[in-house]
Amino acid sequence: MASKNKLDKTTSKATLKRILNYIKRYRLGVTASILMAALTVALTLYVPVLIGQAVDQILGPGQVDYEALTRILTKIGIIVLITAAAQWLMNHINNVITYRVVKDIRTRAFNHLEVLPLSYLDVHPTGDLVSRIIADIDQFSEGLLLGFTQLFTGVMTIAGTLLFMLSINPLITLVVVCITPVSFLVASFIAKRTFTMFQKQSQARGELTSLIDESLGNLKVVQAFGHQEESQKTFEEINGRLAGYSLRATFFSSITNPATRFVNGLVYAGVGTAGAYGVIRGFLSVGQLSSFLNYANQYTKPFNEISGVVTELQNAMASAARVFDLIDQQPIPKDKENACQLKDISGRVDLEHVDFSYVPEVKLIEDFSLSVKPGQRIALVGPTGCGKTTVINLLMRFYDVNQGSIRVDGLDIREVTRRSLRQSYGMVLQETWLKSGTIRENIAYGRPEASLEEVVAAAKEAHAHSFIKRMPHGYDTVISEDGGNLSQGQKQLLCIARVMLGLPPMLILDEATSSIDTRTEIRIQRAFSKMMEGRTSFIVAHRLSTIKEADVILVMKDGHIIEQGNHEELLDKGGFYAELYQSQFAVV
């Protein structure tokens, strides 16, 4: 338990240090905010002195110095106006600093997310990552804003009040100082217990966001398999944990107000008792006692605020720690300094003794070798999990090989830039992806500068033009995120059109026609045939009818090539491919 508390304390300090580094670049604004805070506090604390002086001008009935009283009241009015202006300016500066810091952190987190390896994204729920970038940073901004607004003024008010009280009467000030440690003990008690609860609250919130994102994104599947009850149970379990952590965090933080009010009462009672004694003994005037009682309120009020700020800052730092954990993840290794650009490539691809596995203890691809000539069509077939899509991931360098090498035109792909490598491939996957925007923007995703005529030509090649023209606004029709208002086949046609527009020297078609009806598939195959002319192409397919025209068919099993040849040769062999083909076309 002690080691866990020590770890939390270390995490909290490291997080605070990183937050201060982000704030440091706005040091000019911070300095201006501190100056405004100092001015606000100084003027606010000067008012009780003037009030005390005003009280001393009223000695009794008919003994009021109206001229002096008017001067003092006028001075108080001017000071209040200046204080209000300084406070407004301070709050404005704090808002600017806070939201710029939040913008910087959110931008850094999102930019870092884009360079994280697929291995990280594969094992972290999307909803949790979204929660870190949206909800956790919002929570952090609220705590930071409160800290800026109240922490500076609170600390300065405490220090300034003590100085003003010392200038009036050191003895009564000593009474106040002696009671002060009680406030620090209360704040320390609360701070130690809230950070852990807020940290667990943030984690549970991330789990809940992930579950909701997963359930909403696959609601049809949930309903189709009657999984609503199980999903509800999982939701209730996580929601229950979140409620428990939130309740405990709120409980500890709610102790703040009554506890600090109790301390305030002690301070006020101490000042009142000592001050009354001073007035009786004659070393303190009634006006000075009035000032002292005002200062007692001014002195204790910041402890309420600071205790509240500490609670919010604990919450903010727990949220910030989750964001920094994301930012600290190792990104994809940068391209080598001398990495070259792939240009004017012919399309020769060589895989030499490649070994790869996602998990070291589970072997997948071992001693895999393949030589592809420029313009060849290579089909990869085999049972699920044999490594077909993994080969595609390695070709695109989404993952790096563990052993061996992959070469394009004789160049090891680790020696070229990832951008130029991936620009050399046109890729159509089984899982379609479309962004929220117009149909034209989606087709031109890889070539934003493409003209409308080029976009239309690509859509015609992909047999998507006819259904696009039937849309309300044609190519300017806005589609929702992931093309939710289109059929699966229409979405895949748009993805195919996207590749048709670029026509890079190499193609990857991973179950590219799996969601298209047979009639449209025949048309697409003709378009693909035209598109693949003179281009090195890798085709992953379960439906063997789509790969009959391939130059070389690689039959894979357990990460190895077990058969190799064209369609006719493999049928003549009567091996695994022949069995697979006959199972698909057997007459029942």
Q: Tens digits of per-residue pLDDT, 172-188?
A: 777 777 776 776 676 66
Least confident among 169-183, 379-393, 547-561: 169-183
Give the CA angle between residues 530, 531, 535 to the nearest 5°. 115
Residues 6+ apart with CB under 8 A from 293: 268, 271, 272, 275
Least confident among 330-339, 443-452, 520-529, 534-543: 520-529
CA distance linking residue 40 with residue 162, whole number of Å: 16
Instruction: Kindly state the average pLDDT of the residues 65-72.
Output: 83
Query: Residue type for 140, please?
Result: F
The neighbouring-strand residues paired with 554 are 380, 564
Q: Write down the pLDDT at residue 78.
A: 92
Do the first three CATH levels of 335-424+533-588 and 425-503 match, i.e. the same topology? Answer: yes
Alpha helices in 255-285 (DSSP H): 256-281
Task: Select the more confidently predicted residue: 560 or 526.
Answer: 560
CATH superfamily placement of domain 18-327: ABC transporter type 1, transmembrane domain (1.20.1560.10)
Q: Write down the pLDDT at residue 228.
A: 76
Q: Are 502 and 449 in contact (CB under 8 A)?
A: no
What's the pLDDT band for 4 if we cut at 50, 70, 90?
A: very low
Q: Are 517 and 494 in contact (CB under 8 A)?
A: no
User: Is residue 81 over pLDDT 90?
Assistant: yes
Task: Select the more confidently predicted residue: 125 or 353.
Answer: 353
* Radius of gyration (C-alpha) of the chain in whole angstroms: 35
Least confident among 264-268, 301-305, 348-352, 469-473: 301-305
Q: What is the mean pLDDT of the chain?
A: 80
Choose among 527, 536, 541: nearest CA to 376: 536
> What tokens does 583 get?
């199972």
Q: Are 139 and 104 in contact (CB under 8 A)?
A: no
> What tokens does 117 get?
């390896």
**Is the domain defined by 335-424+533-588 classed in CATH 3.40.50.300?**
yes
What's the pLDDT band for 2 if we cut at 50, 70, 90?
A: very low
Q: What is the pLDDT of residues 193-226, one digit of tens each?
A: 666 777 788 778 878 887 887 777 666 667 666 7
With a pLDDT cut of 70, the percent of the chain lying above it is: 86
Q: What is the pLDDT of residues 129-171, one digit of tens each?
A: 888 888 888 888 877 777 766 777 777 888 888 887 787 778 7
| DSSP-assigned letter for residue 335 | P
| DSSP-assigned letter for residue 147 | I
Q: Write down the pLDDT at residue 184.
A: 65
565, containing H or E segment: strand 560-565
Task: Select the more confidently predicted residue: 224 or 383.
Answer: 383
Q: Write down the pLDDT at residue 34.
A: 85
Alpha-carbon separation of residue 139 from 134, 292, 362 (angstroms): 9, 39, 41
Overall residue count recorded for the chain in this entry: 588
Domain positions in the chain are 18-327, 335-424+533-588, 425-503
> Which phi and psi angles does 378 have, rounded to 5°?
-110, 120
Instruction: Kindly state the average pLDDT of the residues 313-326.
Output: 83
Sign of the C-alpha dihedral computed for residues 125, 127, 133 and 137 taken in this order: negative
Sign of the C-alpha dihedral computed for residues 153, 250, 5 and 235 taken in this order: negative
Choose among 537, 540, 485, 533: nearest CA to 494: 485
| DSSP-assigned letter for residue 342 | P
Q: What is the pLDDT of residues 279-300, one digit of tens each?
A: 777 777 777 777 777 777 777 6
CA distance linking residue 208 with residue 216, whole number of Å: 12
Q: Write down the pLDDT at residue 405.
A: 92
Q: Write down the pLDDT at residue 82.
A: 93
> What tokens does 151 get?
């922490």
User: Is residue 60 over pLDDT 60?
Assistant: no
What's the pLDDT band for 61 if we cut at 50, 70, 90?
A: low
Task: Select the more confidently predicted residue: 236 or 123.
Answer: 236
What's the pLDDT band for 386 if we cut at 50, 70, 90?
A: confident
> Which string of b and e fits 290-325 if b means at least 16 CB within 10 Å?
bbbbbbbebbbbbbbbbbbbbbbbbbbbbbbbbbbe
The neighbouring-strand residues paired with 425 are 506
What's the pLDDT band for 1 if we cut at 50, 70, 90?
A: very low
User: Is residue 587 over pLDDT 50?
Assistant: no
Least confident among 98-112, 207-221, 362-376, 398-412: 207-221
Q: Write down the pLDDT at residue 214.
A: 74
What's the pLDDT band for 307 if we cut at 50, 70, 90?
A: low
Residues 6+ apart with CB under 8 A from 434: 442, 479, 481, 482, 483, 486, 491, 494, 495
Q: Write down the pLDDT at residue 84.
A: 92
CATH number of 425-503: 3.40.50.300
Alpha-carbon separation of residue 178 from 154, 221, 299, 339 (angstroms): 19, 66, 13, 68
